[in-house]
Structure 1
Amino acid sequence: MRNFKGYCLFIIFTLLLTGCSGVEKEKPSSNTKITIESYNISEKEKMLISKTGVGQIEFFKLNGTLKADDNLQFSVEEFENGKFKKELLNTSDGPKTKFKDSIISFGISGMEDKDHSLKLLTGVTSGLDTTKYSNNMTMSSFSKLIGEKVTLEKNKPAYLVVWLGTTKNSLSSVESENGELPTGIEEAEIALLYKVLWTDKEKK
């Protein structure tokens, strides 16, 4: 059953990423601009995703043009009591430089597992990247951090989604403006933040 759910999830992400995204490989223009905004999925898409075992997921639309020596990095960072602890996952979109309504996403599954381990899912236009995250949290929340369209600034991270975890009986909410590092994460025992960063390509 787990293999079947994993296969279904892969197919759904493939359909979303190919059917809803436009990635062009034309020569990038000199006017570099990258924007991100929420993407609201249809009822049919919600029904399909509900059959994959994914507990929570948020989708976003990516538009704009990169220069040839630029890169977009998608990562998940762990914060403990408001302080950065480590990077759990990092992926990029490779050689792609032009994006037109390209779909990216961050989601989690496995919340019902007895060991409280989570499967973190990062969808980019080139595919799906996953990693496992073990924890002992007994209460959690999952929320989107942006409401309006956000324009990326080079070398400045944009935080799109947060997962909060606690072993206590209550969980405070966090707030973010235009993708800034959210305020209030210092009140959470654990915070997982989905981040997008526009940066230079690493030189080989």
Structure 2
Amino acid sequence: MRRFKSRYLFIIFALLLTGCVSVEKEKSLEKEKSPLTTQITIEPYNMSEKENLLISKTGVGQIEFFKLNGTPKDEDQLYFSVEVFKNGKFKEELLKTWDGPETKYQDSFISFGISDIENEGHSLKLITGTPTGIATTVYSNNMTSSSFGKLVGGKVTLEKNKPVYLAAWLGTTKNELSFGGGNNGELPSGIEEAELTFLYKVIWTNKEKK
């Protein structure tokens, strides 16, 4: 009778152990199927002296680079654009681009640059770079002085559906122009005083349904 009880208890213990192992295997498989993280971060990239020298040879007057890291879910996407403000009021959106098939960012570079176009009055060439390519457009204006700079001072974690402003160009025809560059990706101070403003923006959002 004792032997029967011992065998019976051993069988129950073996079944419980097998069940625990199966549960752990299922949990491991679920972790493998789902992304390790949905956190997406962006931070400014400070170029070396040699890199600055190389950029100066390209003809790009002013440019800022940033690094992306993170893994968006399949139903998510990153949306990049340049917003145009006139006298502090939003007017239009330029250079609208979406991330491509790349769904995992690992020190992936994006950039925003501006150059004066010679022999075309006060025309500016706006340049945006993403992991999938480069987009450009020309914008005519009559600004006589300007200021350019980044709007993030360190690593910023993106929040779903919340825009992060990475860099800004402010222009005016007046003698003075104040530009308060931020550190956390918010709208810069002084935008109301500027006659023309370009803001480079990124937003983490849902993919558009086709």
Query: Per the shorter chain, which TM-score range?
Result: 0.7 to 0.9
Deviations 1:91-135 (A, max 9, x none): 121122110111110001125555111111101011111111111
Deviations 1:30-63 (A, max 9, x none): 6311100011122222111111110000001100
Superposition deviation, residue 199 in structure 1? 0.6
Structure 2 residue aligned with 1:12: none
The higher-RCO structure (CA 8 Å, 6+ apart) is 1
> Which structure 2 residues correspond to residues 36-185 of structure 1 after superposition, within 5 A?
36-110=42-116, 113-185=119-191
CA distance in 2, matches of 1:41, 1:177: 18
CA distance in 2, matches of 1:189, 1:174: 15
Secondary structure, aligned partner of 1:187: coil
CA distance in 1, matches of 2:198, 2:153: 19
Superposition deviation, residue 170 in structure 1? 0.9
CA distance in 1, matches of 2:91, 2:153: 27
Instruction: Letter of the 1:104 partner, please give it.
Output: I
Secondary structure, aligned partner of 1:131: strand
TM, length-normalised to structure 2:
0.80
Structure 2 gap segments, 5+ residues each: 1-31
Distance 1:155 1:113, change over 3 A: farther
Instruction: Letter of the 2:147 partner, please give it.
Output: S
How many residue pairs get aligned? The number is 179
Contact 2:179/2:189, CA 8 A, preserved across alignment: no
Superposition deviation, residue 177 in structure 1? 4.2
Contact 1:158/1:197, CA 8 A, preserved across alignment: yes
More deviation, 138-147/89-98: 89-98
CA distance in 2, matches of 1:27, 1:41: 37
Structure 1 gap segments, 5+ residues each: 1-25
Secondary structure, aligned partner of 2:50: helix
- Computed over aligned residues only, the root mean square deviation of the Cα atoms, in angstroms, reads 1.7
Contact 1:65/1:99, CA 8 A, preserved across alignment: yes
TM, length-normalised to structure 1:
0.83
Q: Per residue, is there more helix in 1 or in 2? A: 2
Contact 1:62/1:100, CA 8 A, preserved across alignment: yes
Superposition deviation, residue 150 in structure 1? 0.5
Contact 2:179/2:188, CA 8 A, preserved across alignment: no
More deviation, 27-36/114-123: 27-36
